[in-house]
Amino acid sequence: MKILHTADIHADSPLRGLSAAGDAPVDELRGATRMAVENLVDLAVRDAVDCVVVAGDLYDSERDDYDTAVFLHRQFARLVESGIPVVIAYGNHDAASEITRRLRPPEGVRVLAPDAPETVVLGDLGLAVHGQSYATRAITDNLSAAYPRPVPGMANVGVLHTALDGRPGHDPYAPCTVDGLVTRGYAYWALGHVHQRDDIERDGQHIVFPGNLQGRHAKETGPKGATVVVFDGDRVVSATHHSLDVVRWVRVAVDAGGATDVDEVCTRVVDAVAGSPDVVDGMLCAIRVAVVGEMAAADRLVADRQRWTTQLRADLAGSSGRRWLEKVELRTCHPQRAAGAASDAVRAVRDLVAAAAADPGLQAELAGIFDPLRTRLGAEAGALDAVGATGLGPAGVAALLPEVEALLLAELGGGRRAG
Tens digits of per-residue pLDDT, 53-105? 999 999 886 566 788 989 999 999 999 999 999 999 999 988 877 777 677 88
Same domain (yes/no): 152, 195 = yes
Same domain (yes/no): 147, 121 = yes
What is the Cα–Cα distance from 353 to 334, expressed in whole angstroms?
A: 21
Same domain (yes/no): 215, 286 = no
Of 307, 333, 359, the position where a domain reaches its end is 333
Q: Per-residue pLDDT tens for 251-261?
A: 999 999 888 88
β-pairing, 205-209 vs 188-192, is parallel
Q: What percent of the chain has pLDDT over 90?
A: 54
Same domain (yes/no): 329, 399 = no
Of 316, 333, 350, the position where a domain reaches its end is 333
Same domain (yes/no): 66, 16 = yes
43 pLDDT higher than 50: yes
Domain encompassing residue 378: 341-419
Of 284, 302, 333, the position where a domain reaches its end is 333
The pLDDT assigned to 203 comes to 87
Same domain (yes/no): 212, 323 = no
Same domain (yes/no): 35, 183 = yes
Same domain (yes/no): 269, 363 = no
Same domain (yes/no): 164, 185 = yes
Same domain (yes/no): 225, 286 = no
Same domain (yes/no): 105, 215 = yes
- The residues near 307 (Cβ < 8 Å, ≥ 6 apart) are none
Same domain (yes/no): 83, 116 = yes
Domain count, the chain: 3
Write the CATH number for 73: 3.60.21.10
